[in-house]
Amino acid sequence: RDADKTPLVLEGLAKSFGGVKAVDDVNLSVASREIVGVIGPNGSGKSTLFNLATGTLPLDAGRVWLGGIEVTGQPAWRIARAGIARTFQIPSLFDNISVRDNLLAAAVEGDWKGAPQRATDVMEMLEIGHVRDNLASELSGGQQKLLEFGRVCMRDPAVVLLDEVTAGVHLNIRRIILNAIRKVRDSGVTFLVIEHDMEMVREICDRIVVMDAGRVVVEGSFDEITNNVEVQQAYLGR
């Protein structure tokens, strides 16, 4: 695998909580500039998969490679430094500092000199420039999702993992996020996104994996997924 520069490779990932196999032998490779969607019912292991890939949780089994470099078992901060950035299902912002300072704080390990300009660019892309001096706690839920994504962009990552970043946001904010994901992808970034909104999945994902009970049960294009009878019955409610 040394010569393999695939941005993200997950091999045989597994994690149990008590008797529950939250993630059960998941294998997944994400190619450069690919946007892969992860869908599946609540409790199917999507967030746990992200936690394992980023070192947020220790693995029971499996291996993780970033850009051809194995990071299995390394602490989350080191895996982050290797080029992966993620959002959390519940935004992990600094409530009592400004929007702009939340962005600058995310750049700690990055390029300090470039950070102010980068923050300005990110605020413009995400249309949050007008609230730059507001505290994060003063933002709407949707704006907090934008800022959470903005903090990821500040880190200049090679691979981005988004955990339900459009859940519960208004259509206009969803549109901003969708356009930003496309723009960041076009700059060379690879995405793995947990997404419940099938319209969003259809619009941005090159490939979709369907999880159930910790396992990848179906994988394919949007049409392949939505034409799959098992997926229709179990996950799409048709």
Choice between 55 and 67, CB closer to ligand ADP: 55
Q: Between 81 and 215, whose beta carbon lies closer to ligand ADP?
A: 215
**Locus of tokens 């994060």:** 136
31 is in the binding site of which of Mg ion, ligand ADP, none (Cβ under 5 to 8 A by kind)? none
Is the distance from CB of 174 to CB of 123 less than 8 angstroms?
no
Between residue 39 and residue 58, which ones bind Mg ion under the rule CB under 5 A? 46-47
Query: CB atoms < 10 A from the CB of 180, how many?
Result: 19
Provide the 10 A C-beta neighbour count for residue 224: 13
Q: Between 47 and 144, whose beta carbon lies closer to Mg ion?
A: 47
Burial of 41 (0-12, 13-18, 19+ CB in 10 A): middle
C-beta of 47: minimal distance to ligand ADP in Å? 3
Query: In this structure, what DSSP letter does residue 152 have?
Result: H
To Mg ion, the closest distance from the beta carbon of 8 in angstroms equals 18
- Residue 86 contacts ligand ADP per CB under 6 A: no
**The two structure tokens encoding residue 133:** 């001096």
CB atoms within 10 A of CB 85: 21
C-beta closer to ligand ADP: residue 26 or 173: 26
* Subset of 25-84 contacting ligand ADP (CB under 6 A): 40, 42-48
For ligand ADP, the binding residues (CB under 6 A) are 17, 20, 22, 40, 42-48
